[in-house]
Amino acid sequence: AKASLTTDVCFYEEEMDKAVRERRRLVQQLREALDQDQFSLNWQVQASAETGEVTGYEVLLRWIQPDGTFVSPAEFIPLAEESGLILPIGEWVLRKACAEAALWEAPYKIAVNLSPIQLGHVDLPRLVHQILMETGLAPHRLELEITETAMIADLDRTTHILRQLKLLGVSIAMDDFGTGYSSLSTLRAFPFDKIKLDRSFMSELDGGPQSAAIIRAVLALGESLDIPVLAEGVETLEQLSFLRDQGCDEVQGYLLGRPKPVADSQLQDEALTMW
């Protein structure tokens, strides 16, 4: 028994070493990615639930390594956050997104994801201001998406920064609503311009009455707080028609369009035909 215990411990140590080395390698590659232009942005359409009219696009970061390997942001964003690389990467995303959007005639809003780490960075309002000036993007066309995790660390400081950002004329959306522990108190702490209902509620919509009841409740909440609600992860016509019936304001998901590069010709005047 003793021998096998030792073997097990060695096995775990080996596995852990491997995991640590793998992470270190990925962080190093992440560092190179920024210098070597391996990042790009994909855009995913958002539309009015009632009319299908395009209202904006969410910007999503893509990393394709030199050998063609695609690494998901769900994998590398946490590493970028731990290593601090999220600051230069996040700045790159903001600047690139604003520059690409400023080239459009269409007055669509663009929504950019912010990491809590970026919010903890005091210079953020100044950085956003500087990028808006540089790119010439009208502030009302920029929306910043944040999750409640950003609010937990230091509520007073975070709301102060969010207020400064709003003074610039940009809007603030609460992302992944309903997944955290304190979505409701977060709503109370700051006047968000939009609630983005997490896509897990959509994917479970067919699974039983609970998700439908929660979606209705969140829509009612948005209505009474006078905050528009966008439903994420809309994949089927059934989901879309449910959301329309319930008075949801905006929708986003594979049904309307996959995230794609801005250069795609369709992006310019994407016709949404499912309405």
Q: Which of residues 148-177 bind Ca ion (CB under 5 A)?
A: 175-176
Q: How far apart are CA 145 and CA 209, in angstroms?
A: 29
132 binds, among ligand C2E, Ca ion, none (CB under 5 to 8 A by kind): none
Q: Which of residues 1-40 bind ligand C2E (CB under 6 A)?
A: none
- Exposure letters 175-195 (e unless 16+ CB within 10 A, then b): bbbbebeebeebbebbebebb
Q: Is 56 in the site for ligand C2E (CB under 6 A)?
A: no
Rounded least distance, CB 2 to ligand C2E, Å:
46
Query: Shortest Cβ contact with ligand C2E: which residue?
Result: 253
Residues paired with residue 231 on neighbouring β-strands, in sequence order:
197, 251
Which residue in the set 54, 93, 98, 165 belongs to the binding site for ligand C2E (CB under 6 A)?
Answer: 93
165 binds, among ligand C2E, Ca ion, none (CB under 5 to 8 A by kind): none
Q: Is 165 in the site for ligand C2E (CB under 6 A)?
A: no
The torsion angles phi and psi of 109, rounded to 5 degrees, stand at: -80, 145
If the CB atoms of residues 130 and 200 are measured against ligand C2E, the closer one turns out to be 200
Nearest to 147 by CA among 118, 193, 180: 180
Please state, as a whole number, how many other Cβ atoms lie within 10 Å of the Cβ of residue 137: 21
Tell how far CA 199 is from the center of its chain. 12
115 binds, among Ca ion, ligand C2E, none (CB under 5 to 8 A by kind): ligand C2E
Rounded least distance, CB 51 to Ca ion, Å:
13
Q: Is 260 in the site for ligand C2E (CB under 6 A)?
A: no
The torsion angles phi and psi of 199, rounded to 5 degrees, stand at: -70, -15
SS3 127: helix
Q: Is 91 in the site for Ca ion (CB under 5 A)?
A: no
Q: Is 240 in the site for ligand C2E (CB under 6 A)?
A: no
If the CB atoms of residues 72 and 224 are measured against ligand C2E, the closer one turns out to be 72
The tokens for 88 are: 């230069």
Beta carbons of 151 and 111 less than 8 angstroms apart: no
For Ca ion, the binding residues (CB under 5 A) are 113, 145, 175-176, 247, 249
